[in-house]
Amino acid sequence: MQKLWKAAATIAVLVLLFWMPFTRVLPDYVFVPLLFMALTHGISLFLSARLPVARRLAIAYLVFVGFTYLFAGAEGFDLHGGLIEGWAWAGLISPYLLFSFFSQMSQHYPYPASKTAFYVLPEGPHLVFSTTAVIVGFVAILAAFAMARPYRAAYLIWGLLLGLSIVSLVGYVIVAIASPGEAGMAVQLCWEVTYILAFVMALRGADAVWPVKKIGWRALRDGL
């Protein structure tokens, strides 16, 4: 019964956030965090109440993060979703920016980076990129839910995903230094900090062994 009341309260908050008169007067820097917190709290209701609150919310947030990449990747399949897809990736950590930097610099050498454009999305059709983002998002969601058990393999997967996101973030740092104003990294840096904090909070109190000593089907089976 308590979960039903919490679910009702979460739905009420989401409805209020998208109520046009309320949305118009609410600044983006207030609206976005409130939306993320409401969605994270809603996802946490699907997890066991026996989990500590902090750990439950951390796992729910990681599930939400997986949904953001799943959504951004899925928009790549929509022929008319270019604006939404571009908006989504502009606020996430795109692994393509680092590739774009080295690719563009090799093509335009010896011109300086300040005279070169860099992209967070491939130009033209990019089904492979979008498919990869969808798969990564889906795996991130499953692994985050599996942390509640906890499964050792789930922590290994999310550790690898964090490593990939940190490497991708390096692309934003390089571009910000080489070509100031070309790509801001404040939002991406905030994302990365929240990913790491949520992962650490999800680890607290878990019975999982980190790092997994063996990598392979037997290790995954034992972890599961």
In eight-state DSSP terms, residue 188 is: H
> pTM, whole model, 2 decimals?
0.81
| Phi and psi angles of residue 79, each rounded to the nearest 5 degrees, phi first | -65, -25
With contact defined as beta carbons under 8 Å apart, do 59 and 51 qualify?
yes
Amino acid at residue number 17: L
Report how many domains make up the chain.
Answer: 2
Q: Read off the pLDDT of each residue in 75-84 and give the average, rounded to a whole number.
A: 79
On whether both 6 and 72 belong to a single domain, the answer is no
User: Whole domain around residue 26: which residue ranges?
Assistant: 1-45
On whether both 22 and 123 belong to a single domain, the answer is no
On whether both 94 and 180 belong to a single domain, the answer is yes
On whether both 87 and 188 belong to a single domain, the answer is yes
On whether both 38 and 77 belong to a single domain, the answer is no
**Tokens linked to 128:** 């492979």
On whether both 60 and 41 belong to a single domain, the answer is no
pLDDT tens for 174-211 read 877 776 655 567 888 889 999 999 999 998 866 544 44
**Tokens linked to 156:** 């290994």
CB-CB neighbours of 115 under 10 Å: 8
Q: 3-state DSSP: the chain helix, strand, coil percent, rounded to 5?
A: 70, 0, 30
With contact defined as beta carbons under 8 Å apart, do 54 and 204 qualify?
yes
In this prediction, residue 88 has a pLDDT band, given cuts at 50, 70 and 90, of confident
On whether both 98 and 190 belong to a single domain, the answer is yes
On whether both 30 and 99 belong to a single domain, the answer is no
pLDDT of residue 222: 52
Burial class (CB in 10 A: 0-12, 13-18, 19+), 52: exposed
d(CA 201, CA 84): 31
The torsion angle over the Cα atoms of residues 187, 117, 131 and 33, rounded to 10 degrees, is: 10
On whether both 99 and 134 belong to a single domain, the answer is yes
On whether both 167 and 103 belong to a single domain, the answer is yes
pLDDT tens for 103-118 read 765 665 554 555 566 7
Three-state secondary structure along 79-101? Answer: CCCHHHHHHHHHCCCCCHHHHHH
**Listed residue (95, 38, 28) closest to 61, CA to CA:** 38
- Is 144 in a helix, a strand, or coil? helix
On whether both 118 and 201 belong to a single domain, the answer is yes
On whether both 125 and 181 belong to a single domain, the answer is yes
Kindly report the CA angle at 163 between 161 and 169, in degrees rounded to 5?
105
